């Protein structure tokens, strides 16, 4: 029986964890029903490598930006640089960008500047913004809301694990919450409750691989194929079959990531 199509909306296929293993990783993903995935560039110097991976594999797309934890030690990204990258047919999103005060609070002001540049790129190009948020809920909600009111844009809160207030602020703007393997962890009931309270048409799936492998692979290297395990948890939260939940999240992905909406062969 062919598994339902599930999309990994956020992974890092250029990371050293996958070195020399990508063909097998992609084949395993397809076998699990994950026939599309978005690999994320977190430092602009790595963009050529990330782009090459997307070009090499059917069903693999990419996004590019400067991760907030790298703002302090990487060259600032410009609006023109981001806009130029979006001309590539497989470049489908802006980021990941955002705010991280857990590890890098000392660069908070620089992170805010970088975030606004990425938001401007999303506003200018119509591509979705991909947000990383950690220990910065209040500032994140304020900036996202302020900029959206100036000019609306699409956005996904990647690997969402923040509080209910940020979830509500994002959903009120029409943004999406992306469910990662964290939602499968036994101690993540509060997070599962946040997802269960959200509209089904605002949920995406991801791995953030090679990190955050879902149960039953927790603690091991994560990979796109494991999106299927998170999908099972998500389906149970909404009282749906895996097939129906997969169909809903796939439709959500295509609505947000319009450049990746063309279906690929199974």
Concatenate the DSSP letters of all residues of 31-100 into one string: HTTEEEEEEEE-SGGGHHHHHHHHHHSTTEEEEE---GGGGGGSPPP-HHHHHHHTTSTTEEEEEEEEEE
pLDDT average, residue stretch 62-80: 97
pTM: 0.96
Q: Rounded distance, CA 166 to CA 108, Å?
A: 18
Instruction: Please give the share of the chain, as a percent, with pLDDT higher than 70.
Output: 98
Stretch 229-243: mean pLDDT, rounded?
98
**What is the per-residue pLDDT for 263?**
55
Gap between the Cα atoms of 162 and 208, Å rounded: 16
Over residues 73-96, mean pLDDT = 97
Q: Region 209-219: what's the mean pLDDT?
A: 97
**Which residue ranges make up each domain of the chain?**
6-260
pLDDT at 266 over 50: no
Distance CA 115, CA 145 (A): 13
* Number of helices and strands in the chain (H, E): 9, 8
Written as one string, the DSSP assignment of 209-228 is TTS-PPTTSTTS---GGGHH
Name the average pLDDT for the chain.
97
**For position 265, what pLDDT does the model report?**
46
For the segment 179-185, the average pLDDT, to the nearest whole number, is 98
Q: What are the pLDDT digits (tens) for 183-197? A: 999 999 999 999 999
Give the mean model confidence (pLDDT) for residues 210-217: 97
214: its two tokens? 């879902």
Class of residue 164 by CB neighbours under 10 A (exposed 0-12, middle 13-18, buried 19+): middle
Dihedral over alpha carbons 102, 93, 194, 113 (to 10 degrees): 40
Q: Which fold has domain 6-260?
A: TIM Barrel (3.20.20)
Condensed to tens digits (0 to 9), the pLDDT of residues 42-55 reads 999 999 999 999 99
- Alpha-carbon distances, residue 221 vs 69, 108, 115, 217 (angstroms): 21, 30, 29, 8
Per-residue model confidence as pLDDT tens digits over 126-162: 999 999 999 999 999 999 999 999 999 999 999 999 9
């Amino acid at each position: 029986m062919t598994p339902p199509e599930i999309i990994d909306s956020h992974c890092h296929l250029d990371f050293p964890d996958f070195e020399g293993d990508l063909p097998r990783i992609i084949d395993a993903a397809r076998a699990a029903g994950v026939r599309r995935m978005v690999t994320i560039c977190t430092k602009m110097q790595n963009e050529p490598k990330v782009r090459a991976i997307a070009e090499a594999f059917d069903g693999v797309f990419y996004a590019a930006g400067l991760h907030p934890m790298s703002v302090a030690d990487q060259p600032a990204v410009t609006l023109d640089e981001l806009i130029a990258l979006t001309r590539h047919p497989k470049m489908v999103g802006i980021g990941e960008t955002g705010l991280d005060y857990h590890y890098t609070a000392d660069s908070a002001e620089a992170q805010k500047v970088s975030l606004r540049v990425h938001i401007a790129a999303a506003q200018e190009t119509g591509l979705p913004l991909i947000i990383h948020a950690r220990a910065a809920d209040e500032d994140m909600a304020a900036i996202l809301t302020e900029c959206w009111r100036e000019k609306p844009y699409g956005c996904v809160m990647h690997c969402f694990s923040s509080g209910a207030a940020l979830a509500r602020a994002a959903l009120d703007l029409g943004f999406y919450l992306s469910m990662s393997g964290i939602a499968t962890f036994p101690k993540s009931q509060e997070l599962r409750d946040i997802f269960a309270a959200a509209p089904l048409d605002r949920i995406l799936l991801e791995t953030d691989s090679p990190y955050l492998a879902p149960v039953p692979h927790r603690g091991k290297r994560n990979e796109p194929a494991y999106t299927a395990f998170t999908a099972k948890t998500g389906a149970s939260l909404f009282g749906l079959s895996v097939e129906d939940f997969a169909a809903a999240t796939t439709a959500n992905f295509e609505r947000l990531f319009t450049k990746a909406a063309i279906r690929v062969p199974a």
